[in-house]
Structure 1
Amino acid sequence: MFQYSNQKYTGVNFGTQDLRYGELISCTFHRCSFSNGSLEEITSSNCRFIECDFRGASLNGSIHKESAFENCSFNGASLFVAKFEECKMTGSDFSGSNMDGITIYQGDWSYTNLRHARLVRQDLRAIKFFEADLSGANLEKADLRNADLTMALLAKAKLQGTDVRGAKMESVDFKTFSIMGMRMDREQTVLFSLSHGAKVD
């Protein structure tokens, strides 16, 4: 067990180091690599990771509170039962990552690549997914109430039983996915009708 506090790192390769069970507090990492690294059960709070590489890394059971992961790559990473509380994840790429059992509490996931992500039954209330790519994602029975899905891509996403009441869905292309079994509010049904060419008075 180690603890890093108020440290700044640029271009450092941490991928070969064993970072399991470590604690990171108010640290900044710029263009650092954690590729294929062991970060199981690591905790971070108030940290910033900018353009960092987490490809193939194991972050199983890790906990992150109010940390920022901006434009980071998580391709093929394992985030099994990882927890992100009020984190800023803008522009990060999660393609091919294992997100089973993940916990996401609020935060900003705008511009993220979550294509084909498995987020079944997840509590995603009030999370900002502005212009996020959720194409092909499995969101069955997920709770997206009051989330911001403005301009999000939902092509071929699985939304059976998904609750989107109160979510912002302006500029979402409703023609690219099935709303069968999706729980919507009145405002969203109007947006759905408009996207299919209806005139609503």
Structure 2
Amino acid sequence: MLTYTDQLFEGVDFSGEDFREAELMRCTFKKCKFINTSFEEASTTSCRFEECDFHGASLNASIHTESAFTNCSFEMANLFVSKFTACKMTGSDFTRSELNGITIVKGDWSYTNLRHVKLDKQILKEVRFVEADLMGASLEKSDLRKCDLSRANLNQTNLGGADLRGAELEGVPWSTVNVKGARMDIAQAITLLRSLGAKVE
């Protein structure tokens, strides 16, 4: 089993390599390529990935704890039943990636590209999605309590049946969002009604 601890890699091409069940601890990867790399059941702890390319990589059942994946590309990557706990994902791109069964525990997913992803029935409490692009995404019946969705692109996003209580929703274009059956606190409901032209007294 591959094990890396406290190592720095910069500009290394790991494309197509076998990282299955690998254990990476406190490692830093800068501008490295992991194209079509196998990461099934791998684990990272307190690692940093900066501007790395995971195009087509398989991260099925991988576990990531307090790691950072900043400005990385996960285009067409498979993250089926992967788990990210308290991870920083800012600026990363998940275009056409497979996120079914993913577990996200807190963490910062601000400025990420999550267009058209399906995160139905997920527990996403306290996750930061500041200015994330969630256009056309489905978060139906998800738990979004205390999430920060400030200025996120929620155009055509499905929040039907979601729990939004305590979430930050500044700048949400309510007229284009499906909130049928969503749970809101009083302040959110008033903001929604006013954005739709209602007079709340």
TM-score by length of 1: 0.97
Query: 2:41 & 2:114 partners in 1: Cα distance?
Result: 23
Q: Is the CA contact 2:76–2:98 (under 8 Å) kept in the aligned structure 1?
A: yes
Q: Percent identity?
A: 55
- The one-letter amino acid of 1:56's match is G
Counterpart secondary structure, 2:132: coil
- Which residue matches 1:12? 12
Counterpart secondary structure, 1:192: helix
Match status 1:136 vs 2:136: yes
Query: 1:189 & 1:119 partners in 2: Cα distance?
Result: 23
Q: CA deviation at 1:199?
A: 4.5
Q: CA deviation at 1:198?
A: 3.7
- The one-letter amino acid of 1:59's match is L
Q: CA deviation at 1:17?
A: 1.3
- Which residue matches 2:103? 103
- The one-letter amino acid of 1:13's match is D
**Matched ranges for 1:15-164 at <5 A:** 15-164=15-164
Q: CA deviation at 1:174?
A: 0.8
Q: Is the CA contact 1:170–1:191 (under 8 Å) kept in the aligned structure 2?
A: no
Q: Is the CA contact 2:131–2:153 (under 8 Å) kept in the aligned structure 1?
A: yes
Unaligned 5+ segments in structure 2 are: none
- Which residue matches 1:3? 3
Query: 1:20 & 1:68 partners in 2: Cα distance?
Result: 19
- The one-letter amino acid of 2:105's match is Y
Match status 1:168 vs 2:168: yes
Which runs of at least 4 in structure 1 moved beyond 6 Å after TM superposition? none
Q: How big is the alpha-carbon RMSD for the aligned residues of Structure 1 and Structure 2?
A: 1.0
Q: Is the CA contact 1:43–1:62 (under 8 Å) kept in the aligned structure 2?
A: yes
Q: CA deviation at 1:156?
A: 1.2
Give the number of aligned pairs.
201
Counterpart secondary structure, 2:13: coil
Q: Is the CA contact 1:144–1:165 (under 8 Å) kept in the aligned structure 2?
A: yes
Between 128-137 and 190-199, the greater mean CA deviation after superposition:
190-199
Q: CA deviation at 1:95?
A: 1.2
- The one-letter amino acid of 1:130's match is V
Q: Is the CA contact 2:147–2:167 (under 8 Å) kept in the aligned structure 1?
A: yes
Q: CA deviation at 1:117?
A: 0.7
- The one-letter amino acid of 1:194's match is R
Q: Is the CA contact 2:161–2:179 (under 8 Å) kept in the aligned structure 1?
A: no
Unaligned 5+ segments in structure 1 are: none
